[in-house]
Amino acid sequence: MAEVKLLKTWSSHFALRVVWALKLKGVQFDSIEEDLSNKSPLLLQHNPVYKKIPVLVHNGRAISESLVILEYIDETWKQYPLLPDDPYESARARFWAKFSDDKVFPSIWGVFIKQGKEQEEAFAQVFENFSFLEEELKGKKFFGGEKIGYADLALGWIAERVFELEEIGVKVIEKEKFPLVSAWMQEFLKVPVIKESLPPHEKLVTKMRGIREKYLGAAHPE
């Protein structure tokens, strides 16, 4: 029996992608919760380059970087394919996944931790990024088509975090302006495997609120 371990934290959306992929494929795994303020020897041993979670350890061999892990999972466990067979479609799915991390994440993070003019600039970037996502979703329920695939798992954190941020008073997007993205977020969160693996809502809201206060406090020290 293959041994699969996942080094993660309860709140990391990078780790959540991997949890979702393993669950969609029905792969049993053990979760190892990391304390990032006191990284374990196991994490440092398995990801000496970045020293970050998530790390997947499969039969003693480690893979890091969430998007790389998703590809590994897809190639290793063939049930419920995440990437399409067609090379072009597969490249596009990976393109949107990269877009998530290169563009969408920094823009939403900017809206989250900034204020004033800097926050306005971040809002403009979010708007542009969501416009691209809106366009990509035309004629599709999910980025993967009729069912969720690699790009959905990569971008899925948006669905969850946008609602959480709204709850702490940061309205990331006007949902009416992005009806397809809004519908995608709702459909995505309805998928049982996704829904069941979300971090505890209140706990996450509290954590996010604390992070925002810390950043804003540092920007305006007494």
Ligand X SMILES: N[C@@H](CCC(=O)N[C@@H](CS)C(=O)NCC(=O)O)C(=O)O
Q: Which residues bind ligand X (CB under 6 A)?
A: 12, 14, 36, 51-54, 65-67
CA distances for 52 relative to 57, 60, 132, angstroms? 14, 18, 29
Determine the 3-state secondary structure of 91 from DSSP.
helix
Our CB check for ligand X shows the closer of 53 and 133 to be 53
Our CB check for ligand X shows the closer of 9 and 180 to be 9
Q: What is the closest distance, in whole angstroms, from the C-beta atom of residue 66 to ligand X in the complex?
A: 3
Q: How far is CA 203 from the centre of its chain?
A: 17
Our CB check for ligand X shows the closer of 9 and 76 to be 9
> Residue 55 forms beta bridges with which residues?
7, 64
Q: What is the closest distance, in whole angstroms, from the C-beta atom of residue 52 to ligand X in the complex?
A: 3
Q: Which among 101, 105, 96, 106 has a CA at the least distance from the CA of 148?
A: 96
What does the alpha-carbon distance between residue 210 and residue 179 come to, in Å, rounded to a whole number? Answer: 30
Q: Do 22 and 6 meet the contact criterion of CB atoms below 8 Å apart?
A: yes
What does the alpha-carbon distance between residue 7 and residue 67 come to, in Å, rounded to a whole number? Answer: 15
Our CB check for ligand X shows the closer of 52 and 114 to be 52
Q: What is the closest distance, in whole angstroms, from the C-beta atom of residue 193 to ligand X in the complex?
A: 20
Q: What is the closest distance, in whole angstroms, from the C-beta atom of residue 146 to ligand X in the complex?
A: 26
Our CB check for ligand X shows the closer of 54 and 144 to be 54
Shortest-Cβ-distance residue relative to ligand X: 52
Q: What is the closest distance, in whole angstroms, from the C-beta atom of residue 16 to ligand X in the complex?
A: 9
